[in-house]
C-alpha cells in the first residue's frame, strides 16, 4: 500500500486536486442554478411543488446510469462528468433554497416592500441573506453526495479520483489493484471531510450574528 | 383638545411653516379595491381626506378593510379604481417603490430584518436614497435618541437581541429615517405587553408633538384610537365609513348603533382619558402645618365651610388630609405622613384621578404639581362636570371635520330617496370638494 502511495504520489495529488476542483466548480454552478430556479418558483405553490418533486425524483436516478446515457450523445471526457455532477448537486440545494425562501415570514417581506424596496432588491438584500443558512446546509449535503458521484463520473474518463477506483476494479486480483481502489475511496472520503470543513467555515463567515442559530 | 381641532382645516398643506407641520395631507378619491375571486369589494368607493400633521386612527372589526385602505395609501395594495392624492399630487400612477420610500411604514413587531443590525435596519431607506455614510450614521444616532434608545448601546445589536418594545421603537425609527411626511402604522403596538404598549403610545404622542407628521394608524383597540387619534375613522365591512370624527364627538355623539356597539360600554369613562387634571378647575383647600394646634385648623375649615384640611410639609407637599372629626380629637397636628393619601399628579388623566378617588373612598383626591407641591383638590363632581362639558362641546364641534364618505353607499341612499316621492332627496355632495360639505354628507346619512 505504502509503496503504491509512494510511487503514485504525484498522480494521486493531481487527481485529488482535479476531483476537488471538479466538485467545487460544479457546486458553485449548481448553487447559482438552484438559487435562480428557487427564486423563480418559490412564490407560486404549484411551481414549488413541481420543484420539490423534481428534486426528490431526480435523486432516485442512478448516477451511473445517467452518465452512461450521457456518453452516447456527448462522448467521453469532462463535459458529461460536469453535467452529471452539477445535476445531482443542484437537487438538494434547490430543495433547501425553496424551503428557505418560502419560510421567510410574510411580514418581513411586506415591511421590505413597505419601505420602498423593489421586488428584486427585497430578494437580494432580505430574502436570500435570510435563506442563506438553509441554502448553505443544502450545499453541504450536495458536497458530500457529489464527492461520490464525481468518482462515478470518472467512468466517462472525466477527471478525478474515480480513475483509481475504476482501473483497480477492472483488474481486480492483479498487482496493486486493491491499493488503487482503496486510494480512490479513501481519497474521496478525505476530500469530502476537507470540503465540509471549508463549508462550515464559510457558513461562519457569511452568516450574520442576527440569524445564527 | 379643542385647539387641535381648530388649528388646521383639512385643506391646509404640508408646507405651512407657521404651524410647524411637516406632514402631508392625503386624499383617497373614490377608491375601490376588489380582490379577485371575492364577490364584494374589500373597499367600496371610499372618499376620505386625511389632514396634514394629524394622527388619524382607523378602527373597525377584523376584515372590515381598514388595513387594505391603509396599504392602498402607499400602494402596497394597488387600488382597483380611484385616485390617491398626497399633498395635492396624484400618486396613483407613479413608481410604487419610489412612493413608498417617501412614506414611513411600521408594522406589528417592527418588521425588522433579523440579519441586519439596528443601525443597518434604520439606515436602509436613506441608503436607498443615496445618502453618504456619515450622514446615515448621524441620522441613525439621532433617531435612536428620538425613540429613547442609547445609540452606543443599541446601534450594533441585532433585532433578536432586543425586547419586543425595543424592536417596535427601532421599527418606528426606521420608518422615520428619511424624514417622510407621512407615517403609516399597521397595528404597531399589537405585539407588546400592555405596560410597554402604554409607554410606546405616550412616546408616539411625544414624537408627534415634536415632528407633526401625518400619521395613519390601524388598530383594533378602540381605547388606543381614543388615546392617540386626532381623528378616528370607524369602518364597517367593505370599508364603509360609519363615522369619521374627533374622539370627543365619537364618544359623545356616536353616529349610529354600529358605532355605539363598537365603542362598547363606558363611553363616558373613555372620555376621561381625553382630559387631564390640569385641564379642569380644582377646588381650593384649607392647609395647615404640622405642629399647629388642631383647634386652630378646625376653626379655619369651619369658617371656610370645608370638611377637610390638608396638612402640608415645609416644601408644600401634602402629608395628611384630616377631617373635622379627626381634628376635633387631636391636640396638635403631627408630622407623620399618611401613606394612604390619595394623590394624583397634575398631568394625569381624569381616568387615573377617578381611579385614585374610588380607591381612597374619600370621593376626592389631592392634586400635586411640580416637585409634588400641593395644587388643589379634585372631586368626583369636577370629573362629572368635565364629562358633561365635553359631551356638550362635542355636539357643537362639527365644522372642520375632514371629508370621509363612501360614494357607493351614498349613491344608493340618494337613489332610494329619489325613489320615494314626497321626501326631499339629499343633494349629492361632491366628495373632496371642501370640508364644509361634510355637514351635508352627515345630514344626508
Chain B residues with CB under 8 Å of A107 CB are 107-109, 111
In the prediction, which pLDDT does B295 show? 87
In the prediction, which pLDDT does B417 show? 54
What whole-number percentage of chain B has pLDDT above 70?
Answer: 84
In the prediction, which pLDDT does B260 show? 87
Per-residue confidence at B358, pLDDT binned at 50, 70, 90? confident
Q: Residue B444 pLDDT > 60, yes or no?
A: no
Which one of A117, A118, A210 has the shortest CB-CB distance to B114? A210
Considering A10-19, B175-184, B250-259, B277-286, the range whose residues carry the highest mean pLDDT is: B175-184
Instruction: Write down the H helix ranges in chain A.
Output: 2-7, 9-41, 45-58, 63-74, 78-102, 106-114, 119-122, 128-153, 162-170, 177-206
Q: Residue B432 pLDDT > 60, yes or no?
A: no
The three-point CA angle B416-B420-B423 to 5° equals: 105
CB contact under 8 A, B100 and A110: no
Per-residue confidence at B408, pLDDT binned at 50, 70, 90? low
Q: What is the pLDDT of residues A117-126, one digit of tens each?
A: 999 999 999 9
ipTM above 0.90, yes or no: no
Is the CA virtual torsion B324, B326, B332, B336 positive or negative? negative
* Residue whose C-alpha cell is 372589526: B61
Q: Put the strands of the sheet holding B43-50 in their side by side order.
A: B89-90, B81-86, B26-33, B43-50, B404-406
Per-residue confidence at A1, pLDDT binned at 50, 70, 90? low
Beta bridge partners of residue B245, listed in sequence order: B232
Q: What is the mean pLDDT of residues B40-46?
A: 88
Collapsing DSSP to helix, strand or coil, A77 comes out as: coil
Q: What is the pLDDT of residues A72-131, one digit of tens each?
A: 888 787 888 889 899 999 999 999 999 999 999 999 999 999 999 999 999 999 999 999
Q: Please, are residues A82 and A21 in contact by the beta-carbon 8 Å criterion?
A: no
In the prediction, which pLDDT does B396 show? 61
Question: How much is the mean pLDDT over chain A?
Answer: 89
Which one of B107, B114, B125 has the shortest CB-CB distance to A211? B114
Which has more confidence, A38 or B386?
A38
Residue B369: C-alpha distances to residues B25, B279, B336, B337 (Å)? 38, 13, 21, 18
CB contact under 8 A, B159 and A129: no
CB-based contacts of A161: which residues, under 8 Å, 6+ apart? Answer: A12, A15, A16, A19, A150, A151, A154, A183, A184, A187, A188, A191
DSSP state of A153: H
Q: What is the pLDDT of residues B47-71, one digit of tens each?
A: 999 999 999 999 998 888 899 999 9
Q: What is the mean pLDDT of residues B123-132?
A: 93
Residue B100: C-alpha distances to residues A46, B90, B119, B178 (Å)? 30, 14, 20, 11
* Residue whose C-alpha cell is 448553487: A31
Which has more confidence, B384 or B413?
B384
Report residue B102: phi and psi, to 5°: -95, 5
Beta bridge partners of residue B308, listed in sequence order: B323
User: Under an 8 Å CB criterion, which residues of A touch B?
Assistant: 107-108, 110-118, 121, 126, 129-130, 208-211
CA B190, distance to chain mean position in Å, is 15
Q: What is the mean pLDDT of residues B416-436?
A: 43
Chain B residues with CB under 8 Å of A112 CB are 113
In the prediction, which pLDDT does B380 show? 85
Amino acid at each position: 500500500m505504502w509503496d503504491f502511495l509512494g510511487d503514485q504520489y504525484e498522480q494521486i495529488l493531481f487527481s485529488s486536486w482535479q476531483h476537488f476542483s471538479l466538485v467545487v466548480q460544479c457546486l458553485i454552478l449548481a448553487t447559482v442554478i438552484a438559487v435562480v430556479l428557487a427564486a423563480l418558483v418559490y412564490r407560486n405553490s404549484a411551481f414549488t411543488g413541481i420543484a420539490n418533486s423534481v428534486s426528490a425524483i431526480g435523486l432516485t436516478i442512478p448516477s451511473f446510469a445517467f452518465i452512461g446515457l450521457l456518453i452516447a450523445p456527448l462522448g467521453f471526457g469532462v463535459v458529461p462528468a460536469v453535467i452529471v455532477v452539477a445535476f445531482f448537486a443542484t437537487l438538494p440545494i434547490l430543495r433547501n433554497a425553496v424551503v428557505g425562501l418560502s419560510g421567510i415570514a410574510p411580514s418581513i417581506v411586506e415591511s421590505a416592500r413597505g419601505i420602498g424596496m423593489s421586488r428584486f432588491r427585497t430578494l437580494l438584500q432580505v430574502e436570500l441573506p435570510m435563506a442563506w443558512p438553509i441554502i448553505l446546509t443544502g450545499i453541504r449535503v450536495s458536497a458530500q453526495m457529489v464527492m461520490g458521484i464525481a468518482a462515478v463520473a470518472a467512468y466517462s474518463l472525466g477527471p478525478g479520483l474515480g480513475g483509481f477506483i475504476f482501473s483497480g476494479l477492472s483488474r481486480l486480483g492483479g498487482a496493486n489493484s486493491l491499493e488503487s481502489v482503496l486510494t480512490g475511496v479513501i481519497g474521496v472520503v478525505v476530500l469530502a471531510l476537507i470540503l465540509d470543513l471549508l463549508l462550515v467555515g464559510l457558513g461562519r463567515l457569511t452568516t450574520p450574528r442576527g440569524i445564527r442559530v | 383638545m379643542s385647539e387641535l381641532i381648530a388649528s388646521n382645516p383639512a385643506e391646509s398643506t404640508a408646507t405651512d411653516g407657521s404651524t410647524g407641520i411637516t406632514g402631508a395631507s392625503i386624499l383617497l378619491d373614490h377608491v375601490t379595491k376588489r380582490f379577485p375571486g371575492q364577490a364584494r369589494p374589500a373597499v367600496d368607493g371610499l372618499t376620505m381626506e386625511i389632514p396634514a400633521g394629524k394622527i388619524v386612527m382607523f378602527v373597525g372589526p377584523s376584515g372590515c378593510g381598514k388595513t387594505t385602505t391603509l396599504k392602498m395609501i402607499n400602494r402596497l395594495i394597488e387600488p382597483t379604481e380611484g385616485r390617491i392624492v398626497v399633498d395635492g399630487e396624484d400618486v396613483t400612477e407613479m413608481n410604487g417603490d419610489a412612493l413608498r420610500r417617501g412614506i414611513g411604514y411600521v408594522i406589528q413587531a417592527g418588521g425588522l430584518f433579523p440579519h441586519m443590525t439596528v443601525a443597518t435596519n434604520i439606515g436602509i431607506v436613506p441608503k436607498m436614497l443615496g445618502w453618504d455614510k456619515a450622514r446615515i450614521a448621524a441620522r441613525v444616532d439621532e433617531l435612536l435618541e428620538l425613540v429613547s434608545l442609547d445609540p452606543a448601546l443599541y446601534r450594533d445589536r441585532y433585532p433578536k437581541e432586543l425586547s419586543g418594545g425595543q424592536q417596535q421603537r427601532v421599527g418606528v425609527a426606521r420608518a422615520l429615517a428619511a424624514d417622510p411626511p407621512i407615517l403609516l402604522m399597521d397595528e404597531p403596538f399589537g405585539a407588546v405587553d400592555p405596560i410597554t404598549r402604554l409607554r410606546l403610545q405616550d412616546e408616539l404622542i411625544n414624537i408627534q408633538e415634536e415632528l407633526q407628521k401625518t400619521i395613519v394608524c390601524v388598530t383594533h383597540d378602540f381605547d388606543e384610537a381614543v388615546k392617540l387619534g386626532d381623528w378616528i375613522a370607524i369602518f364597517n365591512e367593505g370599508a364603509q365609513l360609519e363615522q369619521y370624527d374627533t374622539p370627543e364627538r365619537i364618544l359623545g355623539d356616536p353616529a349610529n348603533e354600529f358605532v355605539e356597539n363598537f365603542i362598547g360600554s363606558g363611553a363616558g369613562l373613555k372620555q376621561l382619558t381625553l382630559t387631564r387634571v390640569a385641564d379642569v378647575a380644582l377646588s381650593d383647600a384649607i392647609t395647615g402645618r404640622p405642629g399647629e394646634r388642631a383647634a386652630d385648623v378646625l376653626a379655619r375649615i369651619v369658617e371656610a365651610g370645608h370638611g377637610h384640611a390638608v396638612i402640608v410639609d415645609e416644601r408644600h407637599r401634602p402629608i395628611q388630609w384630616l377631617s373635622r372629626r379627626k381634628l376635633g380629637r387631636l391636640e396638635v397636628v403631627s408630622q407623620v405622613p399618611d401613606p394612604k393619601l390619595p394623590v394624583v399628579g397634575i398631568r394625569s388623566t381624569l381616568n387615573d384621578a377617578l381611579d385614585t378617588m374610588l380607591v381612597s373612598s374619600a370621593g376626592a383626591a389631592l392634586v400635586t404639581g411640580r416637585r409634588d407641591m400641593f395644587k388643589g383638590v379634585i372631586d368626583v363632581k369636577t370629573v362629572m362636570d368635565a364629562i358633561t362639558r365635553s359631551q356638550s362641546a362635542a355636539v357643537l364641534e362639527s365644522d372642520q371635520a375632514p371629508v370621509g364618505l363612501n360614494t357607493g353607499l351614498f349613491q344608493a341612499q340618494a337613489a332610494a330617496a329619489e325613489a320615494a316621492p314626497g321626501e326631499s332627496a339629499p343633494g349629492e355632495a361632491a366628495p373632496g370638494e371642501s370640508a364644509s360639505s361634510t355637514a351635508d354628507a352627515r345630514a344626508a346619512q
